[in-house]
Amino acid sequence: MPPSSPAARTVKADYVIVGGGTAGSVIASRLTEDPDVSVVVIEGGPTDIDRDDVLTLRRWLGLLGGDLDYGYTTTEQPRGNSHILHSRAKVLGGCSSHNTLISFKPLPSDWDEWEAAGATGWGAAKMDPYFGKLRNNIVRVAKKDQNAIATDWVEAVKTALDVPEVVGFNDQPFDEGVGFFDLSYHPENNKRSSASVAYLHPHIEAGDRPHLTLLLETWVHKLELDGTRATGVRATTKDGEELFVEAGREVLLCAGAVDTPRLLMLSGIGPKKDLEALGIDCVLDLPGVGENLIDHPESVIVWETNGPLPGNSAMDSDAGLFIKRDANHKGPDLMFHFYQIPFTDNPERLGYERPEHGVSMTPNIPKSRARGRLYLTSADPEVKPALDFKYFEDDEDYDGKTLVDGIKLARKVAEAEPFKKWLKREVFPGPEVTDDAEISELVRKAAHTVYHPAGTCKMGAKDDELAVVDPQLKIRGLSHIRIADASVFPTMPAVNPMLGVLMVGEKCAELLQEAPAQGGDA
């Protein structure tokens, strides 16, 4: 199909990848291993090369809310926090250039849950080999970065909660455990081993992939279709030039759980009633687009310490804890990150003061039962979509009760040595807050996200009306187009999902390499 505007310049490639983030970087690198395959990657942000603010892992907090952050917000959350900034990265490497690079291989129970939800071929046995293909430098927090208070916290958790220490969370599956995380980083200089660093930088620097084109600071605003076949995308460069980027084989949507469904709906693919209400012609009624919005909600407990903390750290949240409260639950059902900083953004909004020196534990819900929705409020591509996570609106208040349990367990840890000797007082919620209902209200109001939105174009079986892609990642009802990012997650892994997204990218690349002649026909 020709470009919609006669003034648009045409760029052609075999594959057009929308989004140079976590999965997009993997797919671009893998496809261009074949010198006869051409790939164009369209990324809304700039390069991360020579950006020390991006490449230095410990500077991650400074990226939140900055010029490399799309800064999505949430709709009113009656039972949660309506003031959360949902940071999404606007830079090559995507959120792997923006986050803490905590690196967990999804647990076998996570993958098997996907398969049970209709993602045939995505069970643990089939997915485990993709972990071994990852190019990232995945290592445990280095000894030099294991500071004294985090080390003492690990010891106190073992004593207070009777959980084992885990040395190498990716070595074998676990239900419970405490220890220093595995990170995708280079300990010798604290530099990231993000998707872009691991998969793209070597080829950019060597200049050995002339058939790989990166269009940076370029925004895709519409898919082009010829009937049900995806032929390319319309995009605008930072200079305002209109492009038609034509895909000879397939279009691959890797823009993430917010911008992939957003692009589909702007292109007339999604819930017909909603699109037509905004004046968008519906070319494919696909009701699941934007539904099943999932996340890892968490809250916080903050302590003031007796004085300054040790200065050595990988990224100030170097250790964590997993608990299994329900013996019948598959995998852990409560998690904590241990922050060697007072994480008080939301408590401050509630009137609490940030201590000069402090630490935090963040009770986190590995398998939240909330299911939200992402939707457009305007046909204007410049208008951000609405994100309604429906935090803590599950019928049985499972999520709210999980946070209350978390605060109680954290307080036990605070009473155990050798961690106790570091602490001066509990700042938030405060030692006087002991009633379950009061704890629940406060920690829900102070809740935040770990920046793990997913599920908005979920993968599923043919009889699942809300499934957007099939187990080959092809969009239902269209051809020559697939999705590979966190939006395809049917359910949320219990662990931080970055490696899961990388593995989705590896599997997508393999699917494309195995069947190039099929051109993605549905």
Is 452 known to be catalytic? yes
Residue 446's nearest CA partner among 297, 306, 322, 286 is 297
CB 485 within 8 A of CB 260: yes
**DSSP at 80:** S
Instruction: Give the DSSP H/E element, type plus range, for residue 198.
Output: helix 195-199
Q: Residue 445 and residue 188: Cα distance in Å, rounded?
A: 39
* Pairwise CA distance, residues 412 & 158, whole Å: 11
* Residue for token pair 């106790």: 420
| Separation CA 410–CA 423 (nearest Å) | 13
Within 10 angstroms of residue 263's Cβ, the number of other Cβ atoms is 22
Residue type, 407: I
DSSP summary character for residue 309: P
Report the C-alpha gap between 62 and 370 in whole angstroms: 29
Cβ pair 78, 393 in contact under 8 A? yes
Task: For 299-438, list the strands marked E by DSSP.
Answer: 301-305, 319-323, 334-339, 358-364, 372-375, 386-388, 423-428
Question: For residue 58, what is the DSSP state?
Answer: G
Q: Is 91 annotated as a binding residue?
A: yes
Find the catalytic residue in 86, 448, 452, 480: 452
User: What's the CA gap between 107 and 484, in Å, rounded?
Assistant: 20
DSSP state at residue 454: B
Place of tokens 């591509």: 381
User: Please, what is the Cα angle at 136 between 134 and 137, to 5 degrees?
Assistant: 125
- Burial class of 61 by CB neighbour count within 10 A (0 to 12, 13 to 18, 19+): middle
The secondary element (H helix, E strand) that includes residue 225 is strand 218-226
Look up residue 459 and give its two tokens.
């993968």
Q: What is the C-alpha radius of gyration for the chain, rounded to an integer number of angstroms? A: 23
Q: Which single residue is written with the structure tokens 């045409």? A: 10
In which region does residue 521 sit, left (phi positive, over 0), alpha (psi from -120 to 50) or beta (all else)? beta
**Alpha-carbon distance 453 to 455, whole Å?**
7
Distance CA 165, CA 179 (A): 6
Say how many residues make up the chain: 522
- What torsion, rounded to 10 degrees, do the Cα atoms 474, 478, 481, 484 define? -40
Q: Which amino acid is at 294?
A: I
Give the residue ranges of the annotated binding site.
Answer: 91, 220
Give the residue ranges of the annotated binding site for FAD.
Answer: 91, 220
Which of the residues are catalytic?
A: 452
